[in-house]
Amino acid sequence: MTKTLLVPDHIAEKRQKEKEGVLSSAYVKEEERFFDPSKLPQKSIDRLPQPTGWRILLLPYRGQVKTEGGVHIPDQVQERETLATVCGYILRVGPDAYNDTDKFPNGAWCKEGDWVIFGRYAGSRFKIEGGEVRILNDDEIIATINDPSDILHI
């Protein structure tokens, strides 16, 4: 059985403002639900870790803030979905990623700025100011996608 918590709009907006960090400012309107890296302050981008070797740095997809009916989704549910998501936005690619021609004869599977699907438990997760990021190996990317909201999250 799942529990749903309905929160009035003014309280949900107050909570959202309280938890906003550096990464939160890069998300476009809540309705669009897309990460826009051009909205990140340049100092924030420079402060992100640079993956070494064949590793890739990505930001997991956060999902919706409101349901289609306009009900705010509680923070705990959003955090649980972020942990369980299989979609992410490629922030940085390490210098040796996809350089092995034996392993990747057709070239790179993805590049910076792509939305991708990866294994549910793949990579290492860690928190930075404003959110959580993951570092994966280059061969842990399963597919590229156009819109992460097309993928149903469990």
Within-domain flag for 42: yes
Structural domain contains residue 43: yes
- Per the domain annotation, does 2 fall within a domain? no
pLDDT digits (tens, 9 = 90+) for 95-132: 999 998 898 888 888 999 899 999 888 888 888 776 78
Please report whether residue 3 resides in a domain. Answer: no
CATH of the domain at 13: 2.30.33.40
Between 100 and 66, the more confident residue is: 100
Query: Mean pLDDT lowest for which of 23-32, 73-82, 85-94?
Result: 23-32
Residue 84 covered by a domain: yes
Q: At residue 85, does pLDDT exceed 70?
A: yes
User: How many distinct helices (H) and strands (E) make up the chain?
Assistant: 3, 6
Token couple for 109: 């599977």
Q: What is the token pair recorded at 134?
A: 């993951």
Residue 25 has pLDDT above 80, yes or no: no
Structural domain for 99, as ranges: 9-150
The count of structural domains within the chain is 1
